[in-house]
Amino acid sequence: MISEVIADGLFEGFTGQLLAGTVMTVKVTLAATFVGICLGLLGASARMSKFKPAKYAGDAYVGFIRGIPELLIIFLIYFGSTRLLMTIASWFGYNEYIELSPFIAGVIALGLTFGGYATEVFRGAFLAVHPGQKEAASALGMSKLRIFFRIQLPQVWRIALPGLGNLILVLMKDTALISVIGLEELTRKTQMVVTATREPFTWYFTAAVMYLSLTVVTTLILRYFENRSRRHERPVARTMKAAGGA
Amino acid sequence: MDWSVIAEYYPRLLEGSWMTLKLVILSSILGLILAIPMALARVSESLAWNGLPRLYIFFFRGTPLLIQIFLFYYGLSQFEIVRESALWPYLREPYWCAIIVLGLHTAAYVAEILRGALQAIPRGEVEACRVMGMTKPTMYRRILLPRAFGIMMPAYGNEVILMLKGSALASTITLLDLTGMARTIIARTYTPEEIYIAAGVLYLLISWLFMLFFKLLDRLFNRHQMV
């Protein structure tokens, strides 16, 4: 019975609404992933820094993100940023009312969350790269920045990818929270359709199926990148298999 | 910033914290009860046993918690059978609905954690049980499950902390947990920064409390490995 209702829905134009919402969900996910990866790299560098204040700041950041609900962070950024932004703007002589859009607030809030967890993923990955690599690079006379970009990052990237993939999947589901501050992504669009149709189960279930499809597609994309990141390992595995080894 | 509002409203915030604690504890217990049979079925190799748990876990891990809450809280009323059932007075209540959905949600994650733990038990221990002539139920009850609890404890502690963060979503179905209470106070005082920061600090304190609790539990379950 439910499937019939969903099939009918295809011709009602509500599905178009849900698709528009899905596109928005993907956009927020991509934007927050980008912000989160930058913050994660920064956080990991801070936590591994020999400069104590940076280390403590990194530790505190991860500690806060782990214990405070994403929803609260979204509220804090969205409703709490106005006064802060207006104070900063007034230093530059701008005194109009400023408010973050739900999109920007959501991207910042979920980017912060992603960054907190990504800090741990990146830190683990940096520690997994053998210190001899860094020493060899500096023995060759590379500058610290060049060692970071040429030697460490390409290897860290590969080790961190599975962990980051999980974070992206979590993030994608967390984008539903931005609906609470009014961003018209999949969940918000679904709420609007439910108000119009008065068929909550049908439409929330449809939304659930759309999130599931997003999860499946994302998993496949991530698997592709993971395999790609390991392509330098593959010939070894192949020879081992051919030789009847482990 | 006007920090005096926190002094004025902290009893309400504590009230909200208590609601959050109740949500997390009750739904964790429900989740654990559901997760144990699910994990046991999931480790089975026959599709007849592991098919349903796999589908359940796929659905609850692949969709946002918020959608699950809406699906149950608003969605179930679409069916007359549900509205006429004996469970309806509970399902209609945001409090019970939140506990049930959070419990169902966490059950999927805990089942996967428990499955991982069961599969991480060294083969030799299972074989030793067999040699002793234990039946399967005895083996699970006496050896494998206690062993798995010990292995999964750190991961389970993390899951409960995630549930604490997830419980904030109960505020979207009008429940006055810590987040819901903070929103109510802000609607009256218009001081979002102060109150949200105060709520964040309370969440941090609660999460530290849980971390401490699970550290103790970890020690209890793994005391045979302590030197």
Which string of DSSP letters, residue by residue, matches A35-88? Answer: HHHHHHHHHHHHHT-SSHHHHHHHHHHHHHHHHS-HHHHHHHHHHHHHHHHHHH
Token duo for residue A241: 């298999």
Q: Which residue of chain B has the CA closest to A215?
A: B62
Query: Which whole-number Å values give the CA distances from A36 to A62, A153, B17, B20, B143, in the listed order?
Result: 12, 16, 29, 28, 43
Name the pTM for this structure. 0.88
Query: Which whole-number Å values give the CA distances from A3 to A8, A76, A206, B10, B96, in the listed order?
Result: 9, 40, 10, 49, 29
Torsion of CA A198, A204, A205, A209, to 10 degrees: 140
All structural domains of chain A? 2-242 (1.10.3720.10)
Chain B hits for A18, CB-CB cut-off 8 Å, are none
Please answer yes or no on whether B203 and A69 come within 8 Å at the CB atom. yes
From the list A67, A76, A208, which residue is nearest B204 (CB)?
Answer: A67
Please answer yes or no on whether A176 and B167 come within 8 Å at the CB atom. no
Q: How far apart are the first and last CA of chain B?
A: 51
- The amino acid at residue B184 is T
Q: Check residue A93 and give left, alpha or beta (phi > 0: left; psi -120 to 50: alpha).
A: left
Residues near A169 by Cβ (< 8 Å), separated by ≥ 6?
A215, A218, A219, A222
From the list A64, A76, A211, which residue is nearest B196 (CB)?
Answer: A76
Closest to A207 measured CA to CA, from A238, A176, A169: A176
Chain B hits for A211, CB-CB cut-off 8 Å, are 62-64, 67
CA B7 to chain centre: 31
Looking at residue A96, its pLDDT comes to 81
Looking at residue A236, its pLDDT comes to 58
Looking at residue A143, its pLDDT comes to 93
Please state, in angstroms and rounded to a whole number, the distance separating the CA atoms of residues A146 and B216. 45
Query: pLDDT tens digits for chain A (246 residues)?
Result: 555 555 555 545 888 889 999 999 999 999 999 999 999 999 999 999 999 999 999 999 999 999 999 999 999 999 988 888 888 888 888 888 888 899 999 999 999 999 999 999 999 999 999 999 999 999 999 998 999 899 998 999 899 999 999 999 999 999 999 999 999 999 999 999 999 988 999 999 999 999 999 999 999 999 999 988 888 876 655 555 555 444
Q: Please give the mean pLDDT across all residues of chain B.
A: 92
Residues near A109 by Cβ (< 8 Å), separated by ≥ 6?
A70, A73, A74, A76, A77, A78, A178
CA A133 to chain centre: 29
Closest to B16 measured CA to CA, from B213, B205, B180, B197: B180
Token duo for residue B192: 């979002």
Q: How far is B176 from chain A (nearest CA, A)?
A: 14
Looking at residue A11, its pLDDT comes to 44
Assess whether pLDDT exceeds 90 at residue B12.
yes
Please state, in angstroms and rounded to a whole number, the distance separating the CA atoms of residues B164 and A217. 29
User: How confident is the model over B110-158, as pLDDT tens digits?
Assistant: 999 999 999 999 999 999 999 999 998 999 999 999 999 989 998 999 9
User: How confident is the model over B13-22, as pLDDT tens digits?
Assistant: 999 999 999 9
Assess whether pLDDT exceeds 90 at residue B55.
yes
Averaged pLDDT, B72-86? 87
Choice between A24 and B82, residue whose per-residue pLDDT is larger: A24
CATH number for the domain whose boundaries are B4-225 = 1.10.3720.10
Looking at residue A245, its pLDDT comes to 44
Q: What angle do CA A125, A160, A230 make, to 5 degrees?
A: 110
User: How confident is the model over B155-179, as pLDDT tens digits?
Assistant: 999 999 999 999 999 999 999 999 9
Token duo for residue B36: 């144990």
Query: Which whole-number Å values give the CA distances from A122 to A36, A165, A189, in the listed order?
Result: 11, 12, 35
Please state, in angstroms and rounded to a whole number, the distance separating the CA atoms of residues B9 and B20. 17
From the list A72, A204, A211, which residue is nearest B200 (CB)?
Answer: A72
Task: Residue window 71-110, chain A: list those with CB within 8 Å of chain B.
Answer: 71-73, 75-76, 79-80, 83-84
Token duo for residue A40: 């994660």
Q: How far is A166 from chain B (nearest CA, A)?
A: 11
Query: Which whole-number Å values give the CA distances from A143 to A66, A110, A134, A147, A202, in the listed order?
Result: 34, 34, 11, 6, 59
Please answer yes or no on whether B192 and A76 come within 8 Å at the CB atom. yes
Please answer yes or no on whether B161 and A79 come within 8 Å at the CB atom. no
Please answer yes or no on whether A68 and B203 come within 8 Å at the CB atom. yes
Give the start-to-end residue ranges of the domains of chain B: 4-225
